[in-house]
């Protein structure tokens, strides 16, 4: 299975679960509902992202029927399953768009473990408060296969910069929360943000290419 995409699917399930828990107008679904959906991902024999998505869409309907017929678990609101299907359809559309757009540079990867934790951002990718923007040179990462990631902007949107530094101009287009992006390369420099070092990442979002901070990306 495509491991990066496998992890993206897990993030989609988490997004729907968090939205359900945060919605005061909809009954919070029993955690077992999402556990069952994730179990279908773990047990999938599909090796291609498209096939995995189609399998999971069918299995979401299966989990809904099982939940409705199970007297030991409260029946989740229909909107939970509808939102799951919508998120999977949106992910499928993003994949189709990205497959039709060539990248402007070869993809790269870091040899270190990716850190998926990110500070809670505002509606912009520029963090509030004093920040040390002194850069530290690092070695360029070697070129490898494509990497996918999902943005984590706390419900807001992120701006992309034209160059990998905080003083660079921002692009007109913005990146919505939980967007699937294609990683192109990593910056040579780090910045010190909220007590941590983070790099800029050059990403392709449906054909729009720009730089955002790695701390706003989830890789698992």
CATH number, domain with residue 203: 2.30.30.40
Percentage of residues in the chain having pLDDT higher than 70: 75
Phi, psi (deg, nearest 5) at residue 52: -65, -40
Note whether residue 115 is domain-resident: no
Q: In the predicted model, is pLDDT for residue 219 greater than 60?
A: yes
Q: How confident is the model at residue 202 (pLDDT cuts 50, 70, 90)?
A: very high
Looking at the structure, do residues 21 and 91 belong to the same domain, yes or no? yes
The per-type count for the chain, helices as H runs and strands as E runs, is: 4, 8
Check residue 74 and give its pLDDT: 93
Phi, psi (deg, nearest 5) at residue 171: -85, 160
Note whether residue 123 is domain-resident: no
Looking at the structure, do residues 147 and 76 belong to the same domain, yes or no? no
**What domain count does the chain have?**
2
Looking at the structure, do residues 92 and 160 belong to the same domain, yes or no? no
Average pLDDT, the chain: 76
CA distances to 8, 15, 26 from 22, in Å? 21, 11, 9
Q: How confident is the model at residue 131 (pLDDT cuts 50, 70, 90)?
A: very low
Check residue 69 and give its pLDDT: 93
Asked if residues 43 and 62 have their Cβ atoms less than 8 Å apart, the reply is no
pLDDT mean over 64-71: 92
Let me know if 26 is exposed, middle or buried by CB neighbors in 10 A (0-12, 13-18, 19+): middle
Looking at the structure, do residues 84 and 20 belong to the same domain, yes or no? yes
Any idea what the Cα angle at residue 203 is, between residues 200 and 206, rounded to 5°?
155
Q: Tell me whether strands 208-213 and 196-205 are parallel, antiparallel or unpaired.
A: antiparallel
In the Cβ-directed half-sphere of 204, how many Cα atoms lie within 13 Å? Answer: 23
Looking at the structure, do residues 62 and 143 belong to the same domain, yes or no? no
Check residue 65 and give its pLDDT: 93
Quote the CA–CA distance of 212 and 189 in Å, as a whole number: 13
- Name which residue leads in pLDDT, 44 or 31: 31
Q: Using the 3D structure, point to which of 49, 82, 99 is the last residue of a domain.
A: 99
The predicted-structure confidence for 135-182, as pLDDT tens digits, reads as follows 333 334 433 346 788 888 877 888 899 999 888 999 988 888 888 888
- Name which residue leads in pLDDT, 110 or 70: 70
**Tokens linked to 115:** 């850190």
- Name which residue leads in pLDDT, 184 or 93: 184
Note whether residue 154 is domain-resident: yes
Q: Which domain holds residue 27?
A: 3-99
pLDDT mean over 87-100: 75
SS3 209: strand
Quote the CA–CA distance of 144 and 95 in Å, as a whole number: 19
């Amino acid at each position: 299975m495509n491991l990066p995409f496998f992890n993206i699917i897990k993030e989609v399930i988490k997004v729907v679960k968090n939205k359900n828990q945060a919605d005061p107008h909809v009954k919070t679904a029993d955690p077992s509902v999402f556990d069952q959906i994730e179990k279908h991902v773990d047990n999938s024999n599909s090796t291609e992202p498209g096939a995995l998505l189609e399998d999971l869409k069918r299995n979401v309907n299966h989990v809904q029927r099982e939940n409705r017929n199970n007297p030991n678990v409260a029946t989740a609101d229909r909107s939970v399953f509808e939102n799951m299907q919508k998120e999977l359809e949106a992910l499928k559309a993003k994949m189709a768009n990205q497959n039709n757009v060539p990248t402007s540079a070869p993809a790269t990867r870091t040899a270190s473990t990716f850190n998926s934790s990110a500070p809670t951002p505002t509606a912009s990718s520029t963090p509030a408060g004093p920040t040390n923007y002194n850069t530290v040179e690092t070695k360029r990462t070697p070129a490898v296969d494509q990497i996918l990631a999902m943005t984590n902007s706390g419900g807001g949107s992120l701006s992309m910069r034209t160059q990998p530094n905080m003083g660079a101009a921002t692009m007109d287009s913005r990146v919505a929360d939980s967007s699937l992006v294609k990683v192109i390369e990593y910056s040579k420099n780090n910045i010190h943000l909220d007590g941590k070092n983070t790099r800029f990442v050059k990403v392709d979002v449906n054909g729009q290419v720009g730089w955002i901070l790695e701390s706003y990306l989830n890789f698992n």
